[in-house]
Structure 1
Amino acid sequence: MSADMSAMSPAGFFENPLRIAMVVPPYFDVPPKAYGGVEAVVADLVDSLCERGHHVTLFGAGEPGTKANFVPLWDRIQPERLGDPFPEIVHALRVRRAIERLAEEEGVDLVHDHTFAGPLNAPAYADLGLPTVVTVHGPVQDDCYRYYRELGQECSLVAISDRQRALAPDLPWAGRVHNALRPEQWPYQTEKQDYALFLGRFSADKGPHLALDAAHAAGIPLILAGKCSEAPEKAYYEEFVAPRMTDADQMFGLADAAAKRKLLSGARCLLFPIRWEEPFGMVMIEAMICGTPVVALRGGAVSEVVVDGVTGRICDDPSELPAAIAEVSTYDPAACRAHVVDHFGADTLGRGYEQVYRQLLARTTIGVGDTYELPVPVGASGRA
């Protein structure tokens, strides 16, 4: 398919603003006050789309915090019920009724869903003539793969990395749009302090125990910050993290937006020793925009996000991490920030999704091998 989208639609089509129903889970505010990677991305996407002239109605929970028209469907956010199927199902029912009302009263052009259960509403939206776009924020293997396969062609899936899409090439992908952020909302610091940082959920897949081992071998303290509230997270922490910690290390806990920025901008490096197919990894671009390099294990989208040898070091084995920590201390913080500004700014997010929306609304055939997406930026393959 040609990348010239204007050839597929009548003159002036691109100037027409779209009416977008945006759906997020009910667990956190948008943008989130602390934990909430999906909510952070959606906040930037919504604002970018509004700045591009589109009309966005956001369905979720909590307090309004974006430029969209916000419709809260719960009295409060539901963070304590994350992982419980009940809020997912009830939220999907409430969203469907709210979108049906919106379509009748004001009109809607498409639905963009960021939840897990919400795409089950796609047949009902199709009856209203509305396409459903689903961003796949999580894994696409095993049970998740079977779920997305069962959704069928009524949902157009958007991958957040090339690696995620490659793991399930037969799913009905509409394209790939990397996650992004707003550079102006993040600090930049060239003078780093004497600590490495782990920032993420406490689980074996995220590897905080490997971060501790690597930091100790490199002779540098480690600050650990992130989510450790659910029973499996607490059990993992007690068995694998707590016994490894020394007096020089610090367990910070869950960092809010301000604390996260301070920790990231001051760290010598971010440790990202993942042991699973991470679909993207927002914390990597959050670190780099602060001028902080990333030391990561190869996996998931790491090689799409980090420029190996320039904005971080990608290792193939945990034994390589200590030397990488020492090496990245010589890297240029300005190069880290420039990489994110050039390739992961919020405008690329809004533009990428706008192209997906236009393609669907132009009734272009979308399927495997027949998609439009932003080209992978030069230098984003993991090499300079």
Structure 2
Amino acid sequence: MALIGPARYPVREPYAGGLEAFCHTMVSALRELGHEVDFFAAEGSDGNTKDFELPGVDWGDRAEDATDTTYPEGGRERENAAFIELRRLLVARGYDVVHNNSLNPYIFPSEASPEPLPMLTTLHTPMVDEIQDAITAAGLRAGRFAAVSRTTARDWRLPTEPVIIPNGVNVNLWRPGPGGETAVWFGRLVPEKGAHLAIDACRAAGIPLVLAGRNGDHHYVRDEIAPRLGDGVEWIGELSHAELRGLVANCGVAVVTPRWEEPFGLVAFEAMACGTPVAAFRRGGMGELLRDAPACLAPADDVDALAAAITRARGLDRDVVRRWVVDRHSLCQTAKRYTDIFRQVAAFAKVGQ
């Protein structure tokens, strides 16, 4: 089978974001289950197919302008051309199943490349107009779909009913720890992740906070994060995954502050796998998937309510928190669910030949 990852950043530790983490860990889990997986991802990825790599995004000497959603001059055109070529390669190689996790419309059938692929696309984001247009144009030829939450699935117009498969956490790596007095926020420092609100809420609750993550938007960090540092708030930058797991396991609460309709929110589940309770905004898939969890949720963007949730979350039983994730959201469970869908996709493709 083939698995297509995101094209913007290399898929390797430390992961640029949750999508990169999902793809890398899923490839490993599928291979451990005995599947032969060709992994197509950005140049410099770990464990990917080296005879065809996606170009990635290189801002060169314009790093201050870099964001996770825009491109330098010519960058989008290079990515589109690479996906057109990748689609031709996938058709030529005749894979049993193609698992698409990319955010590029040219992986779907079009007039230029109408050949069908036995493809399952997982929707990791709210609707993206150009991808929606490609799916609509392809119709049933677009293949099958999965979504990481019902919230995300409802945002798209799809030719077939999607299966809901929440992401999974490697609970053998995200191990329980003793906790501590400090709160932690980890992820990409970008406006839609709302780290500045985590700072405000922890300060209101009187709890020190450590931020760990990559600067994904220099203007946001300069304007919203840097002025708030100090006085019990520290940003320690990007960590290796081992370092990050150790940090989270030794904190008393993880704060998760989506300012968009968060499709899943992997960081919340990683924290809970360490036994670290979560205080989060009730938004998007986060509110859906944590509704019955041992976690404390607050209305979106309500800093005072989040401060109260942080205080409550610190009192949750860490063993109960971890057990909830192990029972419902382990990576092994997720990989097995995908395997069942892959078999269906492959069988349907053979019938149609």
TM-score above 0.5: yes
What is the CA–CA distance in structure 2 between the aligned matches of 1:147 and 1:319, rounded to whole Å?
42
Which residue of 70, 95, 116 maps to 2:103? 116
What is the CA–CA distance in structure 1 between the aligned matches of 2:38 and 2:131, rounded to whole Å?
28
1:304-319 aligned within 5 A: 304-306=288-290, 311-316=294-299, 317-319=302-304
Q: Aligned pair 1:245/2:237, yes or no?
A: no
What is the CA–CA distance in structure 2 between the aligned matches of 1:336 and 1:307, rounded to whole Å?
13
Q: How many residues align?
A: 333
Contact in 2 for aligned 1:215/1:221 (Cα 8 Å):
yes
1:178-197 aligned within 5 A: 178-189=166-177, 191-197=178-184
Q: Paired residue for 2:19? A: 38
Q: Paired residue for 1:149? A: 136
The Cα of 1:243 is off from its aligned counterpart by: 2.2
The Cα of 1:130 is off from its aligned counterpart by: 2.8
The Cα of 1:305 is off from its aligned counterpart by: 3.2
1:1-384 aligned within 5 A: 20-62=1-43, 65-66=46-47, 70-74=49-53, 78=57, 80=59, 83-84=70-71, 85-103=76-94, 108-117=95-104, 119-123=106-110, 127=115, 130-140=117-127, 145-155=132-142, 156-168=144-156, 170=158, 172-189=160-177, 191-229=178-216, 233-306=217-290, 311-316=294-299, 317-363=302-348
What is the CA–CA distance in structure 2 between the aligned matches of 1:75 and 1:140, rounded to whole Å?
23
Structure 1 290/125 Cα, relative in aligned 2: closer, same or farther at 3 Å? farther
The Cα of 1:136 is off from its aligned counterpart by: 1.5
What amino acid maps onto 1:226 in structure 2? G
- Give the stretch that moved more between structures: 40-49 or 57-66: 57-66
Contact in 2 for aligned 1:119/1:134 (Cα 8 Å):
no
The Cα of 1:202 is off from its aligned counterpart by: 2.2
What is the CA–CA distance in structure 1 between the aligned matches of 2:176 and 2:140, rounded to whole Å?
43
What is the CA–CA distance in structure 2 between the aligned matches of 1:225 and 1:139, rounded to whole Å?
25
What amino acid maps onto 1:328 in structure 2? A
Contact in 2 for aligned 1:113/1:119 (Cα 8 Å):
no
The Cα of 1:88 is off from its aligned counterpart by: 2.3
The Cα of 1:125 is off from its aligned counterpart by: 7.5
What is the CA–CA distance in structure 1 between the aligned matches of 2:83 and 2:129, rounded to whole Å?
23
Contact in 2 for aligned 1:197/1:222 (Cα 8 Å):
yes
TM-score by length of 1: 0.77
SS where residue 183 of structure 1 aligns? coil
Contact in 2 for aligned 1:131/1:154 (Cα 8 Å):
no
The Cα of 1:286 is off from its aligned counterpart by: 0.8
Structure 1 52/300 Cα, relative in aligned 2: closer, same or farther at 3 Å? same
SS where residue 192 of structure 2 aligns? coil
What amino acid maps onto 1:209 in structure 2? H
SS where residue 207 of structure 2 aligns? coil
What is the CA–CA distance in structure 1 between the aligned matches of 2:85 and 2:138, rounded to whole Å?
20
Structure 1 131/100 Cα, relative in aligned 2: closer, same or farther at 3 Å? closer
State percent identity of aligned pairs: 29
Runs of 4+ in 1 over 6 A off after TM superposition: none
**CA RMSD of superposed structures (Å):** 2.7
- Give the stretch that moved more between structures: 137-146 or 204-213: 137-146
The Cα of 1:72 is off from its aligned counterpart by: 4.7
What is the CA–CA distance in structure 2 between the aligned matches of 1:65 and 1:234, rounded to whole Å?
26
Unaligned runs of 5+ in 2: 60-65
What amino acid maps onto 2:280 in structure 1? A
Structure 1 120/34 Cα, relative in aligned 2: closer, same or farther at 3 Å? closer
Contact in 2 for aligned 1:284/1:306 (Cα 8 Å):
no
SS where residue 185 of structure 1 aligns? coil
Contact in 2 for aligned 1:221/1:248 (Cα 8 Å):
yes
SS where residue 280 of structure 1 aligns? coil
What amino acid maps onto 2:149 in structure 1? S
The Cα of 1:37 is off from its aligned counterpart by: 1.8
TM-score by length of 2: 0.84
Contact in 1 for aligned 2:2/2:99 (Cα 8 Å):
yes
Structure 1 169/95 Cα, relative in aligned 2: closer, same or farther at 3 Å? closer
What amino acid maps onto 1:185 in structure 2? L
